Amino acid sequence: MDVIIKVSGLKKYYKKGKKLIKAIGGVDLEIERGKFAVVEGTDGAGKTTLLKILSGLETPTEGTVRIGNTDPGKLNEEEAAVFRRRYLGFIFQDCNLIPVLSVWENIVFPLALDRRVWDEAYTMEVIRLLGLEKILDACPDSLTGSQRRIVAIARALVSRPSVILADEPAQDLDPRTGDAVIGLLKMTGREFHQTILLTASDRKAAHMADCIFAMDKGRLLSERGRCLC
């Protein structure tokens, strides 16, 4: 099995005043390259924390994480930023678009930050595939919720990452639109040979997943991170 994401004995505790919050209480997880995996769990289950640790935005309290050959938690700040830009596409729960930039500027922002020569034809292909050509000059505030999510997907895709981490991309969307957004992610994942790890608070994404993990109170319910399907 070609494992691209491997999490072992992961724990993450946050301190809130004198209280210790166990966001992740011992997670083992393996995801095979090229799969479309879903972590399902209710509010506060630890889904966002898990994705943040995978991307190096948070460090674990205990345990190890590997994305390919990299442990994101062991990188310094600059290395972690480069790793995220080149290897990972992160679709944030709240999209995180920059309000003062146009749709086009938002999409190419990570490429511009990297100061590398980028593949404009590929960027245009992503934009076409996601149906964003007509709103490239719009500002994020004028978009619908689903358009904002699709822009966030495009921004995550254009740097050709091997792994896409999508935090509840169908949240707040009606079921049909949510399905369409997840379908787009699955389609682009296949098209561009990516591994996708998506979180969801309901069963919206389940029928499209290659594997599903159920998360509750900081733990995966399936034994040792094995798929439930």
- Binding residues for Mg ion, rule: CB under 5 A, are 47-48
The secondary structure of the chain, three-state, reads CCEEEEEEEEEEEEEECCEEEEEEEEEEEEEECCCEEEEEECCCCCHHHHHHHHCCCCCCCEEEEEECCECHHHCCHHHHHHHHHHHEEEECCCCCCCCCCCHHHHHHHHHHHHCCCCCHHHHHHHHHHCCCHHHCCCCHHHCCHHHHHHHHHHHHHCCCCCEEEEECCCCCCCHHHHHHHHHHHHHHHHHCCCEEEEEECCCCCHHHCCEEEEEECCEECCHHHCCCC
Q: Is 222 in the site for ligand ATP (CB under 6 A)?
A: no
Task: Give the residue with the Cβ less far from Mg ion, 132 or 166.
Answer: 166
Least Cβ distance, residue 39 to Mg ion (angstroms): 10
Least Cβ distance, residue 47 to ligand ATP (angstroms): 4
Least Cβ distance, residue 167 to Mg ion (angstroms): 6
Task: Give the residue with the Cβ less far from Mg ion, 126 or 204.
Answer: 204
CB burial readout 58-71, b (16+ within 10 A) else e: bebbebebbbeebe
Q: Is 16 in the site for ligand ATP (CB under 6 A)?
A: yes
Query: Could you tell me if 91 and 77 are in contact, meaning their C-beta atoms sit under 8 angstroms apart?
Result: no
Q: Is 43 in the site for ligand ATP (CB under 6 A)?
A: yes
41 binds, among ligand ATP, Mg ion, none (CB under 5 to 8 A by kind): ligand ATP
Least Cβ distance, residue 198 to Mg ion (angstroms): 12
Q: For the window 48-87, what string marks contact with ligand ATP as x by the rule CB under 6 A?
A: xx--------------------------------------
CA torsion angle 103 141 42 180 (round to 10): -50
Q: Binding residues for ligand ATP, how many (CB under 6 A)?
A: 14
- Candidates 38-46, 95-103, 120-128, 146-154; binding stretch for ligand ATP (CB under 6 A): 38-46
- Candidates 2-10, 29-37, 43-51, 148-156; binding stretch for ligand ATP (CB under 6 A): 43-51
Task: Give the residue with the Cβ less far from ligand ATP, 101 or 206.
Answer: 206
177 binds, among ligand ATP, Mg ion, none (CB under 5 to 8 A by kind): none
Angle at 151 between CA 227 and CA 82, to 5 degrees: 70
Binding residue (CB under 6 A) for ligand ATP from 10, 38, 41, 146: 41
Q: Give contact residues for ligand ATP (rule: CB under 6 A).
A: 14, 16, 21, 23, 41, 43-49, 93, 201
